[in-house]
Amino acid sequence: MLGLVMLAPGMVWAAHPLITDDAGTQGKGKFQLEVNGQYDSDKETVGGVSVKSTGGQAGATLSYGFIENADLVLNLPYVWGKVTEDGFSVYDEKGLSDISFEVKWRFFEKDGLSLALKPGISFPTGDDEKGLGTGKTGYHFFLIGSKEIAPMAFHANLGYIRNENKADEEVNLWHASLATTYEVVKDLKLVGNIGMEKNPDKTVANDPAFLIVGVIYAVAENIDLDAGVKYGLNSSETDMSLLAGAAFRF
Distance CA 58, CA 39 (A): 9
Per-residue confidence in pLDDT tens, the chain, 250 aa:
444 444 444 444 458 999 999 999 999 999 999 999 999 999 988 888 999 999 999 999 999 999 999 999 999 999 999 999 998 999 999 999 999 999 999 999 999 999 999 999 999 999 999 999 999 999 999 999 999 999 999 999 999 999 999 999 999 999 999 999 999 999 999 999 999 999 999 988 899 999 999 999 999 999 999 999 999 999 999 999 999 999 999 9
Q: What domains, with CATH codes, occur in the chain?
A: 2-249 (2.40.160.40)
